[in-house]
């Protein structure tokens, strides 16, 4: 008889990660600290945050920890795979990275020592904008409540990512307007 996994994300961990997501002014530092908190909370091997490049229709790495540069540069990550958490909009557990047909680079995962991976979609207002991938060096299952908690945190992160993109856009417009001749602005 298989035992249910023990719950890992309790209210304190949830509050800590949620607080980090919502209070940082420095987007890059926030992403780094969220990834560190995920690795510490889940006691896993590595974690990556990937965002969609809409022009290329593929995911690109924004920040990773516990993942080698060689692994990060293994190749493009297209979003056309119907089993990808990005397409399904649902978290996906891959229990055996070396033998699962959904994995594009199983040899690279083996060299890294990755055995299993949870992939969570990052959503902003219903649209998937990226993924969080959590890598483990042994077979892994999460408690259903942890999966649900993580999905909520990923949606929270999606809103912050979207807000950061809008802020960057407004800053560029402001810089363009500031660069206009004064006679045009009068």
Calpha distance 51→54 (Å, rounded): 9
Digit-coded pLDDT (tens) for 35-83: 998 898 888 999 999 998 888 888 889 999 999 999 988 877 878 766 6
Calpha distance 114→47 (Å, rounded): 11
Tell me which of 85-89, 121-125, 147-151 is least confident.
85-89
Q: Find out if CATH 3.40.1260.10 is the number for domain 11-185.
A: no
Tell me which of 10-14, 86-90, 138-142 is least confident.
10-14
Output the CA–CA distances (angstroms, integers) from residue 56 to 50, 77, 79, in the order listed: 14, 10, 10
**pLDDT at residue 82, as a whole number:** 64
Contact 120, 132 (CB under 8 A): yes
With 90 as the cut, is the pLDDT of residue 136 above it?
A: yes
Tokens 């993924």 correspond to 131
End-to-end CA distance of the chain: 77
More confident residue, 75 or 142: 142
The dihedral through the CA atoms of 80, 125, 155, 64 has a sign that is positive
Neighbour-count burial for 56-83, b at 16+ CB within 10 Å, e otherwise = eebbebebbebbeeebeeeeebebeeee
Output the CA–CA distances (angstroms, integers) from residue 94 to 15, 20, 103, 146, in the order listed: 27, 28, 9, 16
Contact 143, 8 (CB under 8 A): yes
Digit-coded pLDDT (tens) for 18-30: 887 888 888 888 8
């Amino acid at each position: 008889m298989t035992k249910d996994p023990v719950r890992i994300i309790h209210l304190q961990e949830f509050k800590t990660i949620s607080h980090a997501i919502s209070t940082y002014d420095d987007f890059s530092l926030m992403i780094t600290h969220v990834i560190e908190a995920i690795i510490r909370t889940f006691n896993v091997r590595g974690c990556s945050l990937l965002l969609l490049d809409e022009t290329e229709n593929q995911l690109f790495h924004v920040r990773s920890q516990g993942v080698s540069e060689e692994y990060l540069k293994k190749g493009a990550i297209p979003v056309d795979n119907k089993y990808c958490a990005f397409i399904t909009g649902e978290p996906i557990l891959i229990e055996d990275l070396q033998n699962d047909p959904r994995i594009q680079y199983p040899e690279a995962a083996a060299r890294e020592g990755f055995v299993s991976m949870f992939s969570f979609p990052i959503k902003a207002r219903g649209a998937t904008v990226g993924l969080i991938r959590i890598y483990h060096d042994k077979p892994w299952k999460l408690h259903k409540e942890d999966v649900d908690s993580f999905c909520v945190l990923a949606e929270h992160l999606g809103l912050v990512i979207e807000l950061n993109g809008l802020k960057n856009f407004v800053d560029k417009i402001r810089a363009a307007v500031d660069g206009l001749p004064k006679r045009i602005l009068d």
